[in-house]
Amino acid sequence: MTTTLLQPGEIEAAAGSIPGLLLPPADLFLSRARRLEQLAEGHPIGDYLRFVGRLARAQQECLEAGPAAEPPASERLARCREHQMPPLSPAGLGLPDGWRDTARQLTRTVLPSLPATGQAALGSVLEKPDAWLDEQALHLLDGNIQGLDAAVAPIVGAALQVHWTRLARQLEPAQVARPEHPNLCPVCGAHPVSSVVRIGGAENGLRYLHCALCSAEWHVVRAKCSNCDNTRGIAHYHLEGGNKAVQAESCPACQSYLKIVQQEKDPLADPVADDLATLTLNLLMDEAGFAPSGINWCLIHGHP
Ligand SMILES: [Zn+2]
Ligand SMILES: [Zn+2]
């Protein structure tokens, strides 16, 4: 008789069917704003967290006020599913109509609360021509950091998130195939910000990667590198005396790390807000020689 040891993923699969894909909830940005406001209290970068919180509130308003998004045609959805392609990839969709209006609306909402230097840095969103804004959006989506105006990246990213989140909310999980590569969003093909171990419901105790663009979340087992599939030597780091809900999961095979936000430790923890509020952990991981496999558009070249 032979005994087969189950790997972590197989144990979860054996436990029954689990939700592989979570599409963004209606109050996504509002919950994030509240979390950022909470984390900002007494925090060394509290002013910046409050700024991103105001931005998230403005995102929620735009998400609710905007016209209903037109999801891709059913033939296209079926074709993407068959070929394991993300149906909302920016390369396939192009920049959505109205995205610049959203970027300018977000800017006008957050601008009055900023100091003069911050206002000057963000002014270009209102003053520069449409073509410049489109160029910034394409640089951000392509991960071309060199071409980006770092000061406007959080606004450009926030506007794109509103449009892609609205589109993702039109889909059903069954319309989306599992991705070929677990480090890319199955809905839009973007990189994750971080990962989150959720509590409650069918997803209780499961780890999901949170998309930087469309806010969808896809399941990847814990203690496995989402960047290269390695399961050996995975280590977890956290800050002594810091935010207990956040760890960095490192992989010795590809020298990358991704944060894990544990809702068991704090039910309100959010994969974007808590990532931002644990910037010191990024610095620690950089020093230890690990590169991030996630991206947070509010952390490109520091902050204003
Ligand atoms: Zn996505
Ligand atoms: Zn790896």
188-233 pLDDT tens trace: 999 999 999 999 999 999 999 999 999 999 999 988 999 999 999 9
In a domain, 2, yes or no: no
CA of 116 to the centre of ligand 1 (A): 34
CATH number of the CATH domain containing 295: 3.90.1670.10
In a domain, 181, yes or no: no
Q: Which residue has the higher pLDDT, 8 or 185?
A: 185
> Do 244 and 210 share a structural domain?
yes
Does the pLDDT at position 3 exceed 50?
no
Reported as a pLDDT band with limits 50, 70 and 90, residue 301 is low
CA of 7 to the centre of ligand 1 (A): 27
CA of 194 to the centre of ligand 2 (A): 14
Q: What gap in Å lies between CA 226 and CA 304, rounded to an integer? A: 31
The answer to whether the beta carbons of residues 204 and 196 sit under 8 Å apart is: no
Q: Which amino acid is at 92?
A: G
Reported as a pLDDT band with limits 50, 70 and 90, residue 14 is very low
25-52 pLDDT tens trace: 999 999 999 999 999 999 999 999 999 9
Q: Which residue has the higher pLDDT, 145 or 265?
A: 265
CA of 110 to the centre of ligand 2 (A): 38
Average pLDDT over residues 144-158: 92
Structure tokens given for 284? 């620690």
For 198-240, the DSSP string reads --SGGGTT-EEEEETTT--EEE--TTS-TTT---SS-EEE--T
Check residue 67 and give its pLDDT: 79
Reported as a pLDDT band with limits 50, 70 and 90, residue 62 is very high
CA of 291 to the centre of ligand 2 (A): 10
Full domain range(s) for residue 83: 25-175
Q: Which ligand is nearest to the CA of 224?
A: 2
> Do 213 and 164 share a structural domain?
no
**pTM to 2 decimal places:** 0.92
In a domain, 84, yes or no: yes
CA of 296 to the centre of ligand 1 (A): 13
Q: Which ligand is nearest to the CA of 179?
A: 1
Distances (CA, A) of 49 to 277, 291, 303: 7, 23, 10
CA of 248 to the centre of ligand 2 (A): 13
Q: Which of 144, 175, 206 is the last residue of a domain?
A: 175
> Do 271 and 199 share a structural domain?
yes
Query: How many domains, the chain?
Result: 2
CA of 238 to the centre of ligand 1 (A): 27
CA of 184 to the centre of ligand 1 (A): 8
Does the pLDDT at position 300 exceed 80?
no
67-87 pLDDT tens trace: 777 889 999 999 999 999 999
